[in-house]
Amino acid sequence: MTIASFYILSLILISLMLPTIRQLEFFVATAETGQISRAAAMVNVTQSSITIAIRRLEDMLGYALFTRKSHGVELTAQGESFLRHAQAILSALHEAVEPPTEADSDISDTVNLAVTDTISGYYLPTVWLRLSRLHPRLKLVVTEASRAQIEDGLLTGAYDLGLALTSNLPNPDRYHLRRAMSSPRNLWLAANHPLAMRETVGFADLEDENYILLTMDEHENTMQNVWAEHGFTPNILFKSQSMEALRSMVAHGMGVSILSDMVFRSWSLEGQRILRKPLSDRVPNMDTGIFWLRQTPMRAASRAIVDCICRGS
């Protein structure tokens, strides 16, 4: 065998051992929609194409990515882990084919960005890495703070930009605001919960259920407004600032909760399964946005950060 033939054979073998971009796209679409039919519509292919791609991907990996249910599919624990890698790979690929312009990469400045704890835990790492790739000479100084502290810091000049949940931002006329992401809120419940077999659930179905309430990042105030709109009074069993405590209690069937998809994970720390169900009653999305004072001139570095974070929103 010649060296050239050996090289070609090696490339073929490697390609057979690695997922294709299309397989990753089909897998992510299925994971995000929960149904093969919806995933097929999202990526504009047939359902059989999705099914074959996922089957081959599972054969390649050596484990199941989904559990098949009557109403769709749900990620396995290994599927949940693989999803994060697949999303990161696709994100990096999209950024690689959209290189920064010379002007963008030459921006050299320091920007002070303040974020809330929810943002720092579930959103910041991805956008920070994106910024560092697109603007390597731009220094980003990030501070974690409450939204009230962010507003005070913008007024005093301590922060240039704030990144927070903006669904109920007070004094909106004071700021320029760009939305970075909008995440649906759904019902969280244990896999063996009696309501788990329902396609959708309404507030009327939750009247006799214990409720686990998250108190971080103004979530309690948001939910109180939602409950008042629907005339619903929850049976609050426990309030906590710990997302993992809430996950554990929901997974063990101690109560239900309503939270956004941005913070959803299918498993508790103990390995107990958590499901999410759409609500038949209207619940607003959790909007994340970046904002700054209207009276403050926008520097090129700050503009680059805003454009980078809000790209595609």
Give the tens place of pLDDT for each residue, 227-244: 999 999 999 999 999 999
Sign of CA dihedral 90, 96, 97, 100: positive
The verdict on 15 and 161 lying in the same domain is no
**What CATH number does residue 78 fall under?**
1.10.10.10
The verdict on 62 and 196 lying in the same domain is no
Those residues whose C-beta lies under 8 Å from the C-beta of residue 298, and which sit 6 or more positions away, are 176, 292, 306
Does a structural domain hold residue 101? no
Does a structural domain hold residue 211? yes
At which of 67, 96, 125 does a domain end?
Answer: 96
Does a structural domain hold residue 220? yes
The verdict on 149 and 298 lying in the same domain is yes
Does a structural domain hold residue 119? yes
The verdict on 212 and 280 lying in the same domain is yes
Picking from 288, 285, 290, the residue whose alpha carbon sits closest to that of residue 308 is: 290
Q: Which amino acid is at 31?
A: A
Please, are residues 116 and 145 in contact by the beta-carbon 8 Å criterion?
Answer: yes
Model pLDDT for residues 92-141, shown as the tens digit of each residue:
776 666 655 544 567 889 999 999 988 888 888 888 888 888 888 899 99
Instruction: Report the number of secondary-structure helices (H) and strands (E) in the chain.
Output: 12, 12
Picking from 134, 132, 136, 169, the residue whose alpha carbon sits closest to that of residue 154 is: 169
What tokens appear for 108 in the block? 């050299």
The verdict on 161 and 201 lying in the same domain is no
At which of 38, 67, 96 does a domain end?
Answer: 96
The verdict on 198 and 248 lying in the same domain is yes
Angle CA(186)–CA(247)–CA(66) in degrees, nearest 5?
70
**How many alpha carbons fall within 13 Å on the CB side of residue 14?**
6
**What CATH number does residue 265 fall under?**
3.40.190.10
What 3-state class would DSSP assign to 180? strand
For residue 193, what pLDDT is reported? 94
Does a structural domain hold residue 212? yes
For residue 13, what pLDDT is reported? 38
Mark the ranges of the chain whose per-residue pLDDT is less than 70: 1-17, 94-105, 312-313
Number of domains in the chain: 3
The verdict on 128 and 254 lying in the same domain is no
The verdict on 140 and 7 lying in the same domain is no
What is the pTM for the complete model shown? Answer: 0.71
For residue 8, what pLDDT is reported? 47
For residue 95, what pLDDT is reported? 65
For residue 129, what pLDDT is reported? 85
Model pLDDT for residues 8-24, shown as the tens digit of each residue:
444 443 444 678 888 88
Domain residues for the domain of 196 are 185-284
The verdict on 204 and 275 lying in the same domain is yes
At which of 78, 96, 114 does a domain end?
Answer: 96
Please, are residues 292 and 158 in contact by the beta-carbon 8 Å criterion?
Answer: no
User: End-to-end CA distance of the chain, in Å?
Assistant: 52
The verdict on 147 and 292 lying in the same domain is yes
For residue 184, what pLDDT is reported? 87
The verdict on 278 and 298 lying in the same domain is no
The verdict on 114 and 176 lying in the same domain is yes
